Amino acid sequence: MKRPNLIYQKSVSGRKGYTLPNTKNRTSEILSAIPEKYLRTADAPLPEISESEVMRHFVGLSVKNHHIDKGFYPLGSCTMKYNPKLNDKAAGLKGFSSHHPLTPNGLSAGCLRLMHELSKDLCEVSGLDAVTLQPAAGAHGEFTGLHIMRAYHLKKGDTKRFKIIIPDSAHGTNPATVTSVGFKTVQVKSNELGVIPPEAVAEVMDDEVVGMMMTNPNTLGIFETHIKEISKIIHDGGGLMYMDGANLNANMGIFRPGDVGFDVMHFNLHKTFSTPHGGGGPGSGAVGVTKELEKFLPFPVLEKKDDGSLFFNYDRPDSIGRVHSFNGNFGVLVRAFAYIRSLGGDGLKEVSENAVLNANYLKEIVREYFDLPYDVTCMHEFVLSGNRQKKIGVKTLDISKRLLDFGVHSPTNYFPLIVPEAMMIEPTETETRETLDEFGAIMKQIATEAVEDKELVTSAPHTTVVRRLDEVGAARKGDVAFLED
Ligand SMILES: *Cc1c(COP(=O)(O)O)cnc(C)c1O
């Protein structure tokens, strides 16, 4: 059945929910600036409803969907932590939110200083020497990083390299980015402990390898224990080490990629540094590099003059060029800066320690009810397998749909690919012990239901506004005005 969007259904001719500023004496001036052919001849067919109805409509919609302000969101790899509202407030300050990106440097001192200091903070967190804030997402950071790696080899006259070594546990964006820049992926297998053995890398290393992309902790939530040996193999063969830093939430103040041989990395500011994300909203995939690679960074680069003032330097002959208009998503940068400065160095370390503690605590609760393929101390997330339940006819997808009935978002499903029926759980540091206990109890209940009342789980969700959706269709068709039942 097709249901009409309620806000149109409530429309009553002549009802009004707004008060516009009085522009009477400017109306003709404004109208005369618009070419005749663009002027409306009839009113736009908008719903006519009162302010209270508008409020109820949007508040109602906001609770039909799941979000972090509404409930627990253990979506592994995505770091769906609670974002302090203070950071939103900072991003909304007029001097930031209303600042035009084409304003001359001399009138942008505050914004430039924020970007400069944020870059320095990210250098400190990563142990790298220089940062670009241009890329707008993690995958975009990967794209930027691989171009920098290519520029490094080409500058040396080394033109035959085209391979990137990637673990079988890698996030899908890694091989996708490799393809998008015209390189070729060479896969290496992780071992039974969930980490990459140096021998596997040595085996495929040759003079056609651009470098290696690693995620640490990896997507199994396990710390890669052989980074130093692997990085030596890659460097000895003339290659570079790239770190996918999306899991930085486990590392801050504890492990610095630059200290153990990584040459390039991207940060997901929208994951680790507190910008609400999901649904393709604005992000930032800032990229950090070593001193040696600094000259290849996208231009313009923010630099300091002798008098201490900041300016954008376009005179960067070795730069890979621009990767984004203006300065990336500036509001995300403000949030990251506010987050870092309000927590301080000790606070960031505590974030990572608590993220790891929460994940291990939760793992110990739920391991009794599900398979745990890698039984090691995890970092900020861990991966369960629903294999035991699959054998009796309940898939991981069913378990995740059933979680919705309890007001909880599902973990990441069927990823990483090397774990059958995977459930990747990342509780984040912002959840209380009570929430973790509650989630543990829900997982226990679902495991029991899978045995005793299978149908209840396989037909879930039962309490949500819509039931099982055509998820691919929902993403592709994007028709928000009608809901198919
Ligand atoms: C999220 C993520 C990415 C990609 O980041 P986007 O901002 O979504 O493009 C890459 N690698 C890992 C491990 C991730 O979790």
Of the candidates 72, 149, 87, the residue with the CA atom closest to the CA atom of residue 404: 72
Supply the pLDDT for residue 5. 57
Alpha helices per DSSP H over 237-375: 269-272, 330-366
Measured in Å, residue 280 CA sits from the centre of ligand 1 at 12
pLDDT at 26 over 90: no
Domain 350-477 in the same topology as domain 86-341: no
Atom from ligand 1 closest to the CA of residue 215: 13
Atom from ligand 1 closest to the CA of residue 77: 15
Measured in Å, residue 355 CA sits from the centre of ligand 1 at 18
Orientation angle between helical segments 433-452 and 330-366, nearest 10 degrees = 60
User: What SS3 class is residue 287?
Assistant: strand
Please give the distance of CA 370 from its chain centroid, rounded to a whole number: 27
Residue type at 69?
D
Torsion of CA 303, 328, 172, 340, to 10 degrees: 70
The DSSP result for 244-277, as a single string, is EETTGGGTTTT--GGGGT--EEEE-HHHHT----
DSSP label of 295: G
Residue 378 to residue 320: CA distance in whole angstroms: 37
Q: 79 CB under 6 A from ligand 1?
A: no
CA angle 141, 143, 148 (to 5 degrees): 95
* Topology of the domain covering 350-477: Aspartate Aminotransferase, domain 1 (3.90.1150)
Region 388-394: mean pLDDT is: 97
Atom from ligand 1 closest to the CA of residue 142: 10
Orientation angle between helical segments 85-92 and 330-366, nearest 10 degrees = 170
pLDDT tens-digit readout, 199-258:
999 999 999 999 999 999 999 999 999 999 999 999 999 999 999 999 999 999 999 999
- Least trusted range by pLDDT, from 5-9, 69-73, 141-145, 212-216: 5-9
Region 152-164: mean pLDDT is: 98
478 pLDDT band (50/70/90 cuts)? Answer: confident
Measured in Å, residue 416 CA sits from the centre of ligand 1 at 13
Q: Ligand 1: which of 244, 264, 425 to mutate, most ligand atoms within 8 Å of CB? A: 244
484 pLDDT band (50/70/90 cuts)? Answer: very low
Domain 86-341: which CATH number of 3.40.140.10, 1.10.3080.10, 3.40.640.10, 3.40.1080.10: 3.40.640.10
Q: 266 CB under 6 A from ligand 1?
A: no
Region 280-306: mean pLDDT is: 95
485 pLDDT band (50/70/90 cuts)? Answer: very low
10 pLDDT band (50/70/90 cuts)? Answer: confident
- Written as six digits, the tokens of 482 are 């009608």
Q: Are 154 and 148 in contact (CB under 8 A)?
A: no
0.75 exceeded by pTM? yes
Q: Are 99 and 109 in contact (CB under 8 A)?
A: no
Q: 328 CB under 6 A from ligand 1?
A: no
17 pLDDT band (50/70/90 cuts)? Answer: confident
Q: 77 CB under 6 A from ligand 1?
A: yes
Tokens 């007001």 -> residue? 407
321 pLDDT band (50/70/90 cuts)? Answer: very high
The DSSP result for 179-209, as a single string, is HHTT-EEEEE---TTSS--HHHHHHH--TTE
Starting at the edge strand that comes first in sequence, how are the strands of the sheet with 130-132 ordered? Answer: 130-132, 287-289, 264-267, 240-245, 209-215, 163-167, 184-188
Q: 216 CB under 6 A from ligand 1?
A: no
Tokens 């992780």 -> residue? 190
Residue 71 to residue 74: CA distance in whole angstroms: 10
The DSSP result for 121-158, as a single string, is HHHHHHT-SEEE----SHHHHHHHHHHHHHHHHHHTT-
User: What SS3 class is residue 94?
Assistant: helix
Residue 68 to residue 81: CA distance in whole angstroms: 7
Q: 137 CB under 6 A from ligand 1?
A: yes
User: What SS3 class is residue 466?
Assistant: coil
Residue 70 to residue 318: CA distance in whole angstroms: 47
Task: Locate the domains of the chain by residue range.
Answer: 1-64, 86-341, 350-477
Region 190-207: mean pLDDT is: 97
Residue 455 to residue 21: CA distance in whole angstroms: 57
Supply the pLDDT for residue 483. 47
Measured in Å, residue 19 CA sits from the centre of ligand 1 at 43
Q: Which residues pair with 164 in a beta bridge?
A: 185, 211
Nearest CA, atom 4, ligand 1: 138
Region 113-120: mean pLDDT is: 98
Q: 284 CB under 6 A from ligand 1?
A: no
Please give the distance of CA 141 from its chain centroid, rounded to a whole number: 11
Measured in Å, residue 298 CA sits from the centre of ligand 1 at 20
- Written as six digits, the tokens of 75 are 């979506």
CA angle 322, 324, 329 (to 5 degrees): 140
Nearest CA, atom 15, ligand 1: 77
Q: Which residues pair with 161 in a beta bridge?
A: none
Measured in Å, residue 85 CA sits from the centre of ligand 1 at 23
The DSSP result for 3-53, as a single string, is E--HHHHT--TT---------HHHHHHHHHTS-GGGS-SS--------HHH
